[in-house]
Structure 1
């Protein structure tokens, strides 16, 4: 019996080893390289391979980094709130209103935005919100405005709108999965005990769906902080986020050690906040169906 278990374990290890090695190479090697660079010195058109903490001291003492990091966290938090608030009703509709036969079709429709490049979708939002874009042209043709609106582009609001649209499918799916796992008899029991639909949703549905909401929040929050394209195009370069700062150090200034230190510091901050978020919501993660 023990020999059979060892044989199965060996077979499983053989199957897992190639993708694990590939993931380690593709994901781990760049991160280790970035970490190593952050401890080197920047020389003129070269890198001095000497251990130093100067890059991290420069990052933590830089008020510009503080300002941009706080802005990135604020924008990411706002995008997360808006995205999850928009995604939850859609997921609820799919789970409780759409028939079982039509759910695959609706899920298929939700994935349609992924058929086009993320960059193309950002450019389309720029066209929609632009000075002579769809919104301004439509309002002018209806006689609502005489001059194009200039406040709907190149600001935080336009960035939040674009990012919320881009990450909405990522938020809908985990919330939908959590709602699908809810035992419908619990909802019927709540109504049998005299609760109306609103209170049943608040006391039963929402707590049981919170693991999906938490997952959706992290799925949206973490990549939004590192988004580079939307601040550059929709923000017009006027509202740089931490990814734009890293890009400037890596490419424009060609200071890869300092850029690496900024990237590592940002990853540590995001990881710490994500763990804190999970710790605060640990009681929701312990929900049993």
Structure 2
């Protein structure tokens, strides 16, 4: 890389290039985040605009309501379930992409990315057609005699929310695992084979431990955005499948910004804690001695 100190005006040009993303981050992340936090310290209720008043009353009222904590717990359980299942389903995809022949790799990659050619909302509503009382799942179950009437728990439930979110996030979860497997030293697998390890033992002793940072990265890559999801829960969740994002949306629709801001800060803190844990786990450099 050329040294900018040897180029006339190079250092100034480098500073300008660095300033552009910094200003973008300041304008579209730091400032909105500051406004959000400021709203959380406003008096509860409908507030026409920010006032020079700082109070913890909105925090006291919002955080003392058990219903919000139940929704937060439900949100956490859904996000945790989605992350675990999505990573479990994404691992075979990532493994195939990393170790398969190029022709098969291109086929798997095409199939994984095919859903993204359609709108996210369109895919959600397609799942409503599948999960509804007259949807494909219920029709098949009745046709083969497993049920005599439509099952209502498929749609407008936590199960529906988790199922759709898993479908959405599996391709994304495969990416960090694939990148980790691509960087893995293949000679370790060959050494395990030379030492007499069968494919299953070589996978459990070599490939899986070496891919743990990618697994942890994929887990939190899925879990953190899922914590703030509200579109999926609105479309297929119903009353029992509401997540914290839906409650925040209700506050915003009713112009009760302080309460929504408090819940947003709570959700942000939860996501930050998960992000810190994920950064530490996915940043593992030494996964221990590889034993065959």
> What's the TM-score, normalizing by structure 1?
0.89
My pick for the range that moved more, 21-30 or 233-242, is: 21-30
Q: Distance in 2 between matches of 1:154 and 1:285?
A: 43
| CA deviation vs aligned residue, 1:85-144 (integer Å, no higher than 9, x gap) | 000011112212x21355345323322222222111111111101000111223333444
The separation in 1 between residues aligned to 2:78 and 2:4, in whole angstroms, is 55
Relative to structure 1, is the Cα distance of residues 63 and 177 closer, same or farther in structure 2, using a 3 angstrom cutoff? same
- CA distance in 1 between partners of 2:200 and 2:232 (Å): 37
User: Could you say which residue in structure 2 is the equivalent of 1:216?
Assistant: 218
- 1:218 Cα offset (Å): 1.1
Cα distance change on mapping 1:52 and 1:286 into 2, 3 Å: farther
2:74 counterpart residue number? 71
Whole-angstrom distance in 2 between the partners of 1:140 and 1:265: 44
Distance (Å, rounded) in 2 between the aligned partners of 1:44 and 1:224: 28
**2:181 aligned residue (174, 179, 186):** 179
Q: Is the 8 A contact 1:228 1:244 kept in 2?
A: yes
Q: In 1, are the aligned partners of 2:47 and 2:257 still within 8 Å (CA)?
A: no
Residues in 2 aligned to 1:274 and 1:2: alpha-carbon distance in whole angstroms: 35
8 Å CA contact 1:73–1:225 kept in 2: the answer is: yes
Structure 1 unpaired stretches of 5+: none
1:275 match: 276
The verdict on how the C-alpha distance between 1:44 and 1:268 changes in structure 2, with shifts beyond 3 A counting, is closer
Q: How does 1:256-267 map to 2 (within 5 A)?
A: 256-267=257-268
- Alpha-carbon shift at residue 80 of structure 1 (Å): 0.4
User: Shift of the alpha carbon at 1:267?
Assistant: 0.6
Following TM superposition, by how much is the alpha carbon of 1:26 offset from its aligned partner in structure 2, in angstroms? 2.2
Q: Which residue of 2 aligns with 1:284?
A: 284
User: Helix, strand or coil for the counterpart of 1:73?
Assistant: helix
Contact 2:157 2:239 in 1 (8 A): no
Mapping for residues 145-164 of structure 1, pairs under 5 Å: 145-164=147-166
| Contact 2:217/2:279 (8 A) holds in 1 | no
Contact in 1 for aligned 2:45/2:258 (Cα 8 Å): no
Report the RMSD for the aligned CA atoms in angstroms: 2.3
Contact 2:213–2:283, Cα closer than 8 Å, also in 1: no
Could you state the TM-score of these two structures normalised by the residue count of structure 2? 0.88
Higher mean alpha-carbon deviation, 234-243 vs 121-130, is at: 234-243
**Change over 3 Å in CA distance of 1:250–1:221 after alignment to 2:** same
Assess, with a 3 A threshold, how the Cα gap between structure 1 residues 255 and 12 changes in structure 2: closer, same or farther: same
Unaligned runs of 5+ in 2: none
In structure 2, how many angstroms separate the alpha carbons of the residues matched to 1:54 and 1:45? 13
8 Å CA contact 2:75–2:243 kept in 1: the answer is yes
What does residue 85 of structure 1 align with? 88
CA distance in 2, matches of 1:57, 1:4: 59
The change in CA–CA distance for 1:277 and 1:132 in structure 2 (over 3 A counts) is same
Aligned partner of 1:248 in structure 2 is: 250
Does residue 54 of the first structure (1) align with residue 57 of the second (2)?
yes
- Classify 1:43/1:67 alpha carbon distance in 2 versus 1 (closer, same or farther; 3 Å): closer
Q: In the TM superposition, what is the alpha-carbon distance from 1:179 to its structure 2 partner?
A: 0.9
